[in-house]
Amino acid sequence: MHYIPVLKSKLIMPELPENFMFSERLEKLHASMDSSRVVSVCAPAGYGKTTLATSYFHRRDCPPSRICWYRLDPEDRNLPAFIAHFAESVFPSDDSRFFESRRMLKEYADLESQPQQAIAMICQEMWSHHSPSSHARTYIVLDDFQNVIQTPEICDMTRFMMDNLPPSCTIFVLNRTDFRIYTEKQKLEQKVLEIGAEDLAFSPSEVKDFMFHMDKSLAQQELSVFIQEKTEGWIAGIIILYQALKSKGPNIPAHELAKLVHEEALFRYLSLEVFESVEYSTQDALIRLALLQDFIESEAEQIFEITDIQALIAQSMGFGLFTQRIHGDPVVYRFHSLFREFLLHILKNRCSGELIAQLHLKAATYYIGQEAYIRAAEHLAKCGNVSAAIDIVIKAGYNKILVGETAQLKIWLDLLPEDLVRDNPVLLMYKAQLMPNSRQSEMVEPLKKILHMSLLDKKLDTYYQAASVLIYILMCSNDMKGLREIATGLPWQLENTSQELKNTLLILDMVRSIGEEQFGQGETQSETLLYDHLPEDSKWLYLILACIIYHCLGKLDRAEHCMQTALLLDNFKNIEPARGFVLLFLATTWSLKNEKERLTSALSEITAIGEKYDYDYLSANGRRLAAFERYLSFDMEGSVEMLDYAIFHYRRMNNNAMVASTMLLKRLWSIRPANTGNLEEARLEMAMLRKAKPGLMVNETALSILGAIARESGDFPRAERCLLSAMRLAKVKKGSQVLCGACFHLAKLYYVKGNEEKGHYYLQQAMELASENRYFMFWDIHIPTLTEMSLRSMRYGYCVGFAEELLSKFYDSGTITYLAKIVKTMDESRITAFVEDFVFRYQPSQGEQLYVVKAALFGTPEVFVNGIKIPDTEWKTKKVKGILEYLILNNGKTVSKDTLLNIFWPDSDSKSAMVSLRTALYQLRKTLSKYQVPVSGNNAFIHETLGGLQIRNSEILELDIAEFLRLQQELAALSEKTGSDSDAILELLEQMVSIYRGDLMEYSDYGDLVFLERERCKMIFEDICLKLGFIYEKRGKLSQAESIFRHALVLEPYSEKICLELLQLLMGQGRRSKAVSLYYRFKKRFEQDLDINIDSRLTEAVRNPGLHK
């Protein structure tokens, strides 16, 4: 979570007014609040909404509680600002109890791209602080909610909290408008208390009591009735009229009272009678202070040069209602909203617009210096000094983007006038950078406008910054034409351009070369540029572009060096998205080197960052690399699933070229000896790819893949055309690795056609190229083809040593020796069919299991990894552990995400629930990986597919319920062969009893499936306890029989069968007092808890000793 300055004065509960008067009406309202989960107070200004809440929390009989107060201002409409303040209110930074919760929010919640996720995490964290056994409550107060009702996301978040906060939380929503934040369903289910203006209005008797409380001489029935009628119980009006009566005396003429009958008149009264009664200097100070939402002494002194603030406030507080003092360090002062509106009205009449703008600018400058950016944004938007506002935002905004604190910058831009932003290149670039990842296409035109405007103004530094953002977007969509346009026509030799900037602009030469697919030229340009003279942020972009060029050229060691260097850049070490992109290109290098061991951990982090920030580029390419990892491990099904995931994300990015390329790869990998694939659909996908005109060697790779599909389908002419075309284009662009892959496919084509001469020619060319550059993987890889070509190389003597090394990336030494021996003596015409059949049937040795997960689901669930228990404190929330428990129970089955959403977030809307699930899965994987459980790759404990989640590998999972049910089947089979009391039967029964520690997934409500399975296990347990007790009785082991019956009754306290057997056993031993005591305890528990009469046989067993067995 990016840091956003929090105005803590908004998070302090105001004091009760000195003239507060408790009444019977308030007492009844307080009583109604006690049983409510949501308290909605809707009334106009001045009705005492805030006073109602504060008086409730000041009650003497108020239960132990924590009050989280949040007074909302208009700037809180900005989602990151709202969430940052809300998080501080519920998890105060100065309270060590909430340190872990704040750490989790900071680490895993992104306020800008996924605000719903942040709110979901806050709700989850609140559950971790909830204790069912404690009576302490948490009250969350959203005061002045009318300031944010125009932001639908905040309203949705508030509804979400109503459904998902723990039952010990009560939400107060104080609002001036008649806006119902809750749904009708929530009103019914969440115990919503609605309080309106009519509930807050003073009755005639209360008006009289108030007048008596303030001044006994004014407590006249006639005056009280008059005030109540004219104000309709409006407390602000009552107090203002009281001030009038106080100044004029109780005998004020009726015609003067009649003038004060509506709000405008009351305002005039403030001006004529109250405000004018103080010195002019005091008036001037008050109207200037009204520019601030609230203020402390140092702000009044430094912004407005008001020195004697305490004396000033003392006079102001003499007005009664109109000034609030909020205790803290330092003390914060705030004018009542009505009084502040009045003061601003006076300010506008007395001062020129220019002077007011200067005051706003002065306040903005002060707040920026104090890093109070939200307040600074408010005053910048109102200062009217466009040039000054732009200078401040540009200067501070660049630093915020550099360190990743973009949420603050977004607040400023949202408050600045739209035309001001649109006409300024730098501000427009900032706005483009802050747009969500899912709306990247909308950023292109604004950025192109920036390029044009900055060239006209000869501002090449701005041009470069905008181009950097545009490069990322165009790379994501594989838009080579757009990349070429960025650098085309740039006048490099503009006057007054520093050498440092000229050196930096050379990066755009590399961009143009990438767009033109002149990778050799791009390499030369990258080596010409002076890296040490680049700014830090430009170094990151340079290294990414250089890595892309080296990937396309097949120079993998250089590509890896670039990314290892990028990981060390100081400015980007703590920016997760930047690290995610570097890891992606580093993982791409490892994938092309076929270094699966290094790849696995990187893919896990890439996927997590992509999901956390909703970056489709990371998610799509990370899943694609995961597909290669699984394919190289012979996990064909898993690799196809990962490709489906990648296609989903490419489609979201509108990257049709990568959608088509990935579909082609999926078709190639899905080919089996009896299934040659659908060539016609592959041709259509190739046509879609060509239409997109992609770069980065995507077209050449796709041609090679299509050629391989055509070869496997028997269309040799098409296969030859595609593969020769791929080779020709790859040679022109110097793409050695793509060329090498196409050569392997072409060599196989000629061997299949019976043209051994050409087969030998291209095979030798491919092996020499692969050996020289140490290529072990290719974007167009087809394991049957690569295996066959490696074996043929060993047969014909082409780079034999490298061929063996290449095969060792896929097979163990014994398998390689076996294959080489077979192929060396095999008839030429049978080699292809033999290898294809072998690869299709081959299952790699799993080797020794590196981890074993043991789960005990009976009783309170426990999870162990390699004998070490994962303590409950490791699970971030109960739902995180609950998801794992549910998946374990359903191991071997795919559990859909919809099922998980319905079970764990039944009352949330689909979007919020999915965000919560994604967060929970991220935390689940993080906890498992901490205990060395693989969370990605072929050996992952939990596999994720488009269909849902599944725990597949039963060999690494030891599950108590699985063993319990296995023993039951063995018991049933054994009972048919031997007697019911044999030693073998006894041993099985004892094992089953020892496994059953309590109800299945005790205290968990995970739907009908768990409930039915729980009841089935209960019945089995009851049956085996009875059988075991009978055997003990038969063998004379009465104490053991009693022990097993008592143990069973503890676990199944409502089992009449077990209770009956125990009663009969006790009565048979002459232990009637014990039996009677047991009988009455069971009867009381059974009838009170279940409201059912017990079986009459239990009563007879106690009354008639002769009935015992």
Digit-coded pLDDT (tens) for 30-83? 888 888 889 999 887 778 888 899 888 887 555 568 899 999 887 788 888 888
User: Could you tell me what percent of the chain has a pLDDT over 70?
Assistant: 81
Q: Which fold has domain 8-200?
A: Rossmann fold (3.40.50)
The pLDDT score that the predictor gives to residue 172 is 94
Tokens standing for residue 232: 């309709």
pLDDT band at 708 (very low <50, low <70, confident <90, very high): very high
Token look-up 């990257």 returns 655
**CATH 3.40.50.300 domain locations along the chain:** 8-200
pLDDT tops 70 at residue 462? yes
Over residues 1045-1051, the mean pLDDT reads: 81
Task: Output the pLDDT for position 249.
Answer: 59
**Residues 173-203 pLDDT 10s:** 998 877 777 776 666 666 888 898 888 888 8
Question: For position 439, what pLDDT does the model report?
Answer: 64
Please give the residue that has the higher pLDDT: either 710 or 342: 710
**Tell me, what's the pLDDT at 401?**
59
CA distance 773 to 693: 29
Buried b (16+ CB within 10 A) or exposed e, 225-264: ebbbebbebbbbbbbbbbbbbeeeeeeeeeeebeebeebe
The pLDDT value recorded for residue 685 is: 92
The CATH number of domain 655-839 is 1.10.10.10? no
Give the least confident one: 314-328, 841-855, 1014-1028: 314-328
Residue 248, beta-bridge partner list: none
Torsion of CA 546, 547, 552, 556, to 10 degrees: 130
- 466-506, pLDDT tens digit by residue? 777 778 778 877 888 888 887 775 555 455 667 777 777 78
pLDDT at 930 over 70: yes
CB 860 within 8 A of CB 869: no
Contact 853, 991 (CB under 8 A): no
Q: Token pair for residue 30? A: 């307080």
The closest of 754, 738, 842, 835 to 792, measured between CA atoms, is 835
Prior bond to 330 cis, omega within 30? yes
**pLDDT band at residue 126 under the 50/70/90 scheme:** confident
Q: How much is the mean pLDDT over the chain?
A: 81
Which tokens is 139 given?
């009250």
For residues 635 and 630, give the distance between their C-alpha atoms in angstroms, rounded to a whole number. Answer: 5
pTM over 0.75: no
| Delimiting residues of CATH 1.10.10.10 domain(s) in the chain | 846-1007
At residue 555, the pLDDT reads 93
Question: In this structure, what is the dihedral angle of CA atoms 910, 912, 917, 922, given to the nearest 10 degrees?
Answer: 140
pLDDT in tens, 782-791: 999 999 999 9
CB 85 within 8 A of CB 70: yes
pLDDT classification of 1007: cutoffs 50, 70, 90: low
Which pair of structure tokens corresponds to residue 213? 């409380």
For residue 412, pLDDT beyond 90: no
Count CB atoms within 10 A of the CB of residue 489.
7
| Torsion (CA) 589, 593, 599, 605 in degrees, nearest 10 | 10
- Lowest average pLDDT, out of 6-10, 65-69, 109-113, 541-545, goes to 109-113
The secondary structure of 153-222 as a DSSP string is HHHHHHHHHHHHS-TTEEEEEEESS----S-HHHHHHTTEEEEEHHHHSPPHHHHHHHHHHH-GGG--HH
Residue 761's pLDDT band (cuts 50, 70, 90): very high
User: How far apart are the C-alpha atoms of 632 and 839, rounded to whole Å?
Assistant: 12
pLDDT number for residue 320: 44
* Sign, Cα dihedral of 1048, 1054, 1057, 1063: positive
Q: What is the pLDDT of residues 1064-1084, one digit of tens each?
A: 888 888 888 888 888 888 888
Q: How far apart are CA 286 and CA 292, in angstroms?
A: 10
Q: Which two tokens stand for residue 808?
A: 């060792």
The span from the CA of 910 to the CA of 904, in Å, is 12
Sheet with 65-71, edge to edge strand ranges: 65-71, 137-143, 169-175, 38-42, 192-196
State the pLDDT at residue 268.
Answer: 57
Residue 1020 CB: number of other CB atoms within 10 A? 17
Q: What is the pLDDT of residues 210-265, one digit of tens each?
A: 777 766 555 566 666 667 666 667 777 777 666 666 655 556 555 555 554 444 45
Q: Cβ distance 10 to 70 under 8 Å?
A: yes
Instruction: Give Cα separations from 180 to 35, 189, 566, 745, 837 (angstroms).
Output: 20, 15, 51, 66, 67
Residue 430 has pLDDT above 90, yes or no: no
Which residue intervals of the chain bear CATH 1.25.40.10? 655-839
Looking at residue 612, what is its pLDDT? 67
Q: What is the mean pLDDT of residues 550-575?
A: 87
The C-alpha atoms of residue 566 and residue 128 are separated, in whole angstroms, by 38
Q: What's the CA gap between 88 and 69, in Å, rounded?
A: 10
**Pairing state of beta strands 949-950 and 957-959?**
unpaired
The predicted pLDDT at position 734 comes to: 93
Pairwise pLDDT comparison (961 vs 6), residue with the higher score? 961
Q: How far apart are CA 1000 and CA 961, in angstroms?
A: 8
At 938, the pLDDT band (50, 70, 90 cuts) reads low
Q: Give dist(CA 947, CA 895) in Å, integer.
A: 8
| Topology (CATH) of 846-1007 | Arc Repressor Mutant, subunit A (1.10.10)
Residue 321: its pLDDT value, please? 40
Mean pLDDT of 863-878: 84
DSSP sequence for 623-645? HHHHHHHHHHTT-HHHHHHHHHH
pLDDT of residue 919: 76
pLDDT in tens, 792-833: 999 999 998 999 999 998 888 888 888 888 888 888 888 888
**Phi, psi dihedral angles at 552 (to 5 degrees):** -65, -35
pLDDT of the residue at 892 = 83
